Amino acid sequence: MEHVMFVINNAPEQDTPARPERDALKEWLDEVAPVRRYGARLRPPADSTVVRVRGGDVVVTSGPFAEADEWIGGFDVLDVPDIDQAVELAAHHPGAEGGRVEVRASWPFDEEA
Amino acid sequence: MAEPTDLVAVRAALERAHRDEWAVVFGTMVRLTGDWSLAEDCAQDAFVLALRAWQRDGLPRNPGAWLVTAARNRAIDVLRRRRTEQSRVEEAGRLVVPETAEDDERLRLVFTCCHPALPMEGRIALTLRAVMGLTTAEIARLFLVSEATVSQRILRAKQKIAHAGIPYRVPPPGLREERLGGVLAVVYLVFTEAYAPSNGAVVRDDLAGEAIRLARLLVAEHPADAEARGLLALLLLQWSRRAARFDEHWDTVLLEDQDRSAWDRAAIEEGQALARSALSEGDGWYALQAALAAQHARAATAADTDWAMVVHLYDRLLAVRPSPVVRLNRAVAMAMRDGPEAGLAALDDLGRPKELDGSHLLSAVRGELLRRAGRRDEALRATRAARELVRSPAEARLLDRRISELAGTAQPETSLSANRAQAASRKTTT
């Protein structure tokens, strides 16, 4: 089943991760390569763009929508048989140390409840 | 077998089957269908069907197998009606009920119900429903919440199992050891809520006995795990006092006032042996609490208790897990060893930890120690403060008695000690 991992940072926003962190990430990507469908690192919230429709008007503002101590730094979509495997791989992600990784199963549109 | 059987005999057989087979029927249906709600409904239906069928046809030779077959047939009926789930229909139709090692089924069920991805209250509610076979009404009475709340907790847990993909299994080696601690915690909570309800709910010794049975199974399946042994020891040692802990008005009889001849010697001996064995492998949270319970079990009278050893064991317990309630109990033991002022000094060191906010324990213990130190006015104030906060009716009556004694409106009892305060706080040690 498809699980999406959100990598949540609580460190100050940075432009570039330090070298050791990048190495750890590379290792992790190698490990999950067989089950990883897609994923990405994300630009920091300061670079986000927020879209709302109000009374038919499109309102575009520069993000972030609200100041937050934590922010999503990236995500990964994994195809694993159960939550135990998703948790095991999440625990290996370098972002789990210090930060948090939130795992949620995807919810197909044709599935109720 | 073809003889009609009278209703009384059938009801008795069903009650036995419910106690012994519910988890197996439920678990087997989860395994067959992969659908927890369907499994629950079919297990329930099987027991309803049995009431009529066993009266008509006589008691089956193997009630468990009868119930599993009935539940399975019911599941196939339901699945056939759900046209969209064609693959499951075929699967269920094809499946001959597998050889079921009953203990394995129970283990799969309990490990899944106690999965760490479920919220704690969901784990407990689901364990009580699926493993222990309680109805939502019984669970609601146990926790003094509405039936709707319990149903909601169980439903959410079942949904999370389905949606997050929580596997129905005993975790593989490696993961299994890591998960066992979470299972032990749920078994302990079930025992405590049944045996010594913190909220004034009705005591359920039958359910406490079931928790012990489950702890026994966990020990048998994990012979190398000292904490499993420690938990079983702790439960047995508490359980050993069940006949002595209430008087005829269901008022709490304090440890020091209990008739020790009414304690269950067999449970004590088994508990002591398990506690020794568990503690020999290192200081564990349950093993140390069992060792503490064993200290009381060993003393011929309350006055014979080795309070120095009790203080020493509390120190070791604090090293495993610093907890304000343990420090509170330690202060009481200090008072027993060195006098009430020493206990009060230990209480001052404890301060006002936020974990005890809203709890009567701190004031109740302080009141008792002040009373023993002869500081009557302060004792009265503290005990009244505790009375404002206490939730359990039995403990409220205890504090009322104490308040009227302190206020001089009743005859003071002659033998009073800090055991009173300790008994009040023991049940919430974890």
Q: Give the position of tokens 């339901």.
A: B78
Residue ranges per structural domain of chain A: 2-105
Query: Which pLDDT value is given to residue B302?
Result: 87
Residue B18 maps to a domain: yes
What's the 3-state SS for chain A? CEEEEEEEECCCCCCCCCHHHHHHHHHHHHHHCCCEEEEEECCCHHHCEEEEEECCEEEEEECCCCCCCCEEEEEEEEECCCHHHHHHHHHHCHHHCCCEEEEEECCCCCCCC
Query: Which pLDDT value is given to residue A70?
Result: 86
> What gap in Å lies between CA A81 and CA B32, rounded to an integer?
18
CA distance A78 to chain B (A): 13
8-state DSSP, B411? P
Q: Are residues B288 and B230 in the same domain?
A: yes
Q: Are residues B359 and B287 in the same domain?
A: no
Across the interface, do A82 and B166 touch by the CB < 8 Å criterion? yes
Handedness of CA B259, B264, B267, B268 (dihedral sign): positive
Q: Are residues B39 and B157 in the same domain?
A: no
Domain limits at B42? Answer: 7-100
Which of A4, A84, A88 has the highest number of chain B CBs within 10 A, making it the mutation to test binding with B? A84
Reading the block at residue B299, the tokens are 């003393």
Query: Which pLDDT value is given to residue B429?
Result: 39
CA distance B46 to chain A (A): 27
Query: Which pLDDT value is given to residue B414?
Result: 43
Q: Are residues B87 and B203 in the same domain?
A: no
Q: Are residues B45 and B140 in the same domain?
A: no
Q: Are residues B49 and B84 in the same domain?
A: yes
Q: Tell me the β-bridge partners of A59.
A: A52
CA distance B175 to chain A (A): 9
Is residue A110 within 8 A of residue A30, CB to CB? The reply is no
Residue B76 maps to which CATH number? Answer: 1.10.1740
Is residue B203 within 8 A of residue B196, CB to CB? The reply is yes
Which residue in A68, A33, A34 sits closest to A48, CA to CA? Answer: A68
Q: Tell me the β-bridge partners of A38.
A: A77
CA distances from B113 to B96, B108, B125 (A): 25, 9, 9
Q: Are residues B140 and B283 in the same domain?
A: yes
A29 CB within 8 Å of a chain B CB: no
B322 CB within 8 Å of a chain A CB: no
**Cα nearest neighbour of A103 on chain B:** B164
Across the interface, do B165 and A87 touch by the CB < 8 Å criterion? no
Q: Which of A84, A104, A113 is nearest residue B167 as measured by Cβ atoms?
A: A84
3 state SS of B252: strand
Show which of residues 153-182 on chain B sit within 8 Å of chain A, judged by CB atoms. 159, 163-167, 171, 175
In the CATH hierarchy, which top-level class contains the domain A2-105?
alpha beta
Q: Are residues B283 and B345 in the same domain?
A: no
H or E element: which one contains B55?
A: helix B36-57
Backbone angles phi and psi of A71, in degrees to 5: -150, 155
Which chain A residues have a beta carbon less than 8 Å from that of B165?
Answer: 1, 3, 81-83, 86, 105
Number of Cβ pairs < 8 A linking chain A and chain B: 26
Reading the block at residue B73, the tokens are 């047939």
B48 CB within 8 Å of a chain A CB: no
What crossing angle do the helices spanning B63-81 and B86-94 adopt, rounded to 10°? Answer: 150
Radius of gyration of chain A (CA): 16
Q: Are residues B119 and B194 in the same domain?
A: yes
CA distance A53 to chain B (A): 32
Q: Give the position of tokens 């508990």.
A: B271
Query: Which pLDDT value is given to residue A106?
Result: 95
Q: Are residues B275 and B352 in the same domain?
A: no
3 state SS of B246: strand
Reading the block at residue B64, the tokens are 């468990």
Which chain A residues have a beta carbon less than 8 Å from that of B117?
Answer: 83, 87
**Cα nearest neighbour of A107 on chain B:** B163
> What gap in Å lies between CA B23 and CA B105, rounded to an integer?
7
Residue B322 maps to a domain: no
> What gap in Å lies between CA B2 and CA B19, rounded to an integer?
25
Q: Which of A81, A105, A113 is nearest residue B164 as measured by Cβ atoms?
A: A105
Residue B410 maps to a domain: yes
Handedness of CA B269, B274, B275, B280 (dihedral sign): positive
| ipTM of predicted assembly, 2 dp | 0.86
Residue B29 maps to a domain: yes
CA distance B317 to chain A (A): 29
With 0-12 CB in 10 A as exposed, 13-18 as middle and 19+ as buried, what is B87? exposed
Residue B312 maps to a domain: no
Q: Are residues B80 and B121 in the same domain?
A: no
Across the interface, do B167 and A82 touch by the CB < 8 Å criterion? yes
CA distance B159 to chain A (A): 8
Across the interface, do B117 and A87 touch by the CB < 8 Å criterion? yes
Q: Give the position of tokens 């309630």.
A: B325
Provide the number of structural domains found in chain B. Answer: 3
Across the interface, do A107 and B163 touch by the CB < 8 Å criterion? yes
pLDDT tens per residue across all 430 residues of chain B: 446 678 899 999 999 999 999 999 999 999 998 999 999 999 999 999 999 999 999 999 999 999 999 999 999 888 888 766 555 556 555 556 666 688 899 999 999 999 999 999 999 999 999 999 999 999 998 888 899 999 999 999 999 999 999 999 999 998 998 899 999 999 999 999 899 876 777 788 999 999 999 999 999 999 999 999 999 999 999 999 999 988 888 778 888 889 999 999 999 999 999 999 999 999 999 999 999 999 999 998 988 999 999 999 999 999 999 999 999 999 999 999 999 999 999 999 998 888 888 889 999 999 999 999 999 999 999 999 999 998 878 788 889 999 999 988 544 444 444 444 444 444 443 3
Q: Are residues B344 and B212 in the same domain?
A: no
Is residue B201 within 8 A of residue B137, CB to CB? The reply is no
Which chain B residues have a beta carbon less than 8 Å from that of A105?
Answer: 163-165
Q: Which of A105, A107, A113 is nearest residue B165 as measured by Cβ atoms?
A: A105
* Residue-wise pLDDT tens digits, A47-57: 889 899 999 99
Show which of residues 88-107 on chain A sit within 8 Å of chain B, judged by CB atoms. 103-105, 107
B329 Cβ contact list (under 8 Å, min separation 6) = B314, B422, B425, B426, B429
pTM: 0.85
* Residue-wise pLDDT tens digits, A67-112: 778 889 999 999 999 999 999 999 999 999 888 999 999 998 988 7
What is the residue-wise DSSP string for B80-128?
HH-GGGHHHHHHHHHPPPPP--HHHHHHHHHHHHT-TTS-HHHHHHHII
Radius of gyration of chain B (CA): 24
**Cα nearest neighbour of B167 on chain A:** A82
**Cα nearest neighbour of B112 on chain A:** A84
Which residue in B131, B120, B189, B188 sits closest to B157, CA to CA? Answer: B120
CA distance B152 to chain A (A): 14
CA distance B168 to chain A (A): 10
Across the interface, do A84 and B175 touch by the CB < 8 Å criterion? yes
CA distances from A83 to A35, A99, A109, B387 (A): 14, 20, 20, 46
What is the number of other CB atoms lying within 10 angstroms of the CB of residue B355? 10
